[in-house]
A and B are shown apart, each in its own frame.
Chain A
Amino acid sequence: MTAATVATNHVAPPRSFTTAVHHTLRLTQRSVLGRLRQPAALAPSFIFPLFFAALGSASFQRMSKLPDFPASSFLNYTAAGAIVQGVLFAATSSAGDLATDIEQGFFERLLVSPVTRTAIVIGRLGSAMVVAISQVFVFLGIFLAFGARIETGVVGFIGLTVSGALLALAMSGLMSGIAIRSGSPEVVQGSFPMVFALLFLSSSFFPRQYMTGWYKTVASWNPMSHVVEGMQGFMNQPLDVDQFLRAWLIPLGIATISIMFGLRALSNRLAAQ
């Protein structure tokens, strides 16, 4: 039995709510700083969505002239997809940091300290939300500068921001669970194909009504299609309760399940030590 294990079993973590909040905020702060200090790891989650949005706008602009196209321009259509893409990439890469913490022993250092256990996971999720909100601001700022419009105005802007944050919470919870279970950055990296599949087999890049066959069926079952379509609603349609239901409630539901998965993984790891 290691020294870390002994301490884990005998040091009772403080349980007060304010302490837990304080620990969570400090760990969120550490995690955000950690992300900012690795610009090379964070950059792809900004560069690639913007690149794909630019590429799509230049390639598929003609499509937006079709009478049933769900947006006034392809840029307006693709904005929501770019946010979703950026958030998913960033959340996955953030979970990679957590796995690295476990691999390099920082996680054990946290465990031997009297820090609130849930704060270790929630702090990481908090940082994913902070990064997601900044992504929404940066992406929308750039898209608006290039002529995009948010049809639902300020309410839509808030709707998109909250949706991005909730999606980050959902994805980060899932990926953190994988990171804690495996303790291996390679395994987290290996989950990237799942993220690709979630994105590409949805209406993130192209409207569902133009898809055909089995691909359309899969995209219709993919919850990501509905999240992104809710967000596209904020960008392109008049305000509607359906937009909130799809863009907020679906990620919130997934987040609830994925956080439970993350905390369960943590508790299993603690029990195994």
Chain B
Amino acid sequence: MNTSLVNDTSRSSVVDGHGGRPLSVSGALVRRTLLRVRRMPAAFVPSIVMPVFQLIAFSGAFGAAVRLAGVKNAMDWYVPLNAVQGASFGAMGVSFGLINDMQTGFFDRLLMAPTKRWALIVGPMAGSIARAALPVALVIVIGFLGGMNVPGGPLAIFYVAVAATGIALVASAFALGLTYRMRNMGAATLTQFAIFFTIFLSTSQVPLSNMAGWLHAVARVNPMTNVLRLARQGLLGDITWNDTWGGLLAIAVMLFVSCWFALSGLKSLEK
């Protein structure tokens, strides 16, 4: 066989030495997420409506129970919960979007890009924060309209946002990891279940002191309890480091684990 010897890479002149810059790639993927939301708003509506509906339903139905536990206004208890839950809904969008990209083959285009693999994960994760911004803001606004107390001042809202952002990142990384492995719609359903159970098996409805038996045992070790404590502290009273560090640590640990889960899942695709 006649072998032609060539200087093979000389023609890739427009590609700089580093390929796609990871942060630019992540940024472009965030812009794509927002563009898709703008062009297909119907798919985005449930993630706005559900947290708002749940806030109204929970505070209306269970208000008496949390007031009995010493909470002044049911909104003080349920705004942080539904902000966090609303932020986690973005993960479903991440999962559905990824499955869609896998089925259309668009994901292959991303995989073939000469860029760091983590850029392909950070993009959708950051996109989930962008998706979460509106429902979280709406929940907070409705909280204020419903007479939510803010003894902790502006920092109280900041911590609600920190908790919501943290959970949006954790949930979307988890969704990516699961979707890379399962590669079908079942991943989105499982993600939803996992988030649902993690949130509800914490202090979602009442404080730890009001819980009985098994739920108390589970909620006490559930990291979501720490995250909700972080988010709620400024609405229930003063902000203290004691109520802060546990939530920040819980987010950091969950983020580390879920990012590893996502990255290893992405790498497994090329095996």
Which B residues are CB-close (under 8 A) to A193? 46, 49-50, 53
C-alpha spacing A206/B60, complex, angstroms: 10
B57 and A200: CB pair below 8 A? yes
- State which of B53, B61, B200 has its C-beta within 8 Å of the C-beta of A55: B200
- State which of B49, B64, B210 has its C-beta within 8 Å of the C-beta of A59: B210
Interface range on chain B (Cβ under 8 Å from partner): 20 to 34
A196 and B53: CB pair below 8 A? yes
C-alpha spacing A94/B200, complex, angstroms: 27
A2 to chain B, nearest CB (A): 30
Which of A159-167, A208-216, A251-259 lies at the interface? A208-216
- State which of B46, B61, B212, B214 has its C-beta within 8 Å of the C-beta of A211: B61
Q: Is the interface of A mostly helix, strand, loop or mixed?
A: helix
Which B residues are CB-close (under 8 A) to A57? 212
Most B Cβ at <10 Å: residue of A51, A59, A60, A200: A59
B205 and A59: CB pair below 8 A? yes
Q: Is B130 an interface residue (CB 8 A)?
A: no
Given contacts A59-B206, A59-B211, contact A197 B53 (CB under 8 A): yes
Near A by CB (< 8 A), chain B positions 26-63 give 46, 49-50, 53, 56-57, 60-63
Chain A residue nearest to B59 in the complex (CB) = A215
Q: Is B215 an interface residue (CB 8 A)?
A: yes
Q: Is A133 an interface residue (CB 8 A)?
A: no
A206 and B214: CB pair below 8 A? no
Q: Is A144 an interface residue (CB 8 A)?
A: no
B205 and A63: CB pair below 8 A? no
A211 and B63: CB pair below 8 A? yes
B21 to chain A, nearest CB (A): 40
C-alpha spacing A206/B57, complex, angstroms: 11
C-alpha spacing A79/B210, complex, angstroms: 21
Which A residues are CB-close (under 8 A) to B197? 51
Near B by CB (< 8 A), chain A positions 179-221 give 193, 196-197, 200-201, 205-206, 210-213, 215, 219
Given contacts A62-B68, A196-B53, contact A55 B62 (CB under 8 A): no
Which B residues are CB-close (under 8 A) to A200? 53, 57, 60-61
Q: Is B194 an interface residue (CB 8 A)?
A: no
C-alpha spacing A59/B49, complex, angstroms: 26
C-alpha spacing A200/B210, complex, angstroms: 22
Chain B residue nearest to A62 in the complex (CB) = B210
- State which of B49, B53, B61, B211 has its C-beta within 8 Å of the C-beta of A58: B211
A74 to chain B, nearest CB (A): 9
Which A residues are CB-close (under 8 A) to B181? none
Q: Is B65 an interface residue (CB 8 A)?
A: yes
C-alpha spacing A215/B75, complex, angstroms: 14
- State which of A56, A58, A63 has its C-beta within 8 Å of the C-beta of B68: A63
Chain A residue nearest to B69 in the complex (CB) = A62
Given contacts A60-B206, A193-B49, contact A206 B61 (CB under 8 A): yes
Seed contacts A58-B216, A63-B64, A215-B61; 5 additional CB < 8 Å A-B pairs: A55-B215, A59-B65, A62-B210, A63-B65, A205-B62
Jot down 11 A-B pairs with beta carbons below 8 A, ordered by A: A55-B215, A59-B205, A59-B215, A60-B205, A193-B46, A193-B49, A196-B57, A201-B60, A210-B65, A215-B60, A219-B60
A→B interface (CB under 8 Å): 51, 54-63, 193, 196-197, 200-201, 205-206, 210-213, 215, 219
B→A interface (CB under 8 Å): 46, 49-50, 53, 56-57, 60-65, 68, 197, 200-201, 205-206, 210-216
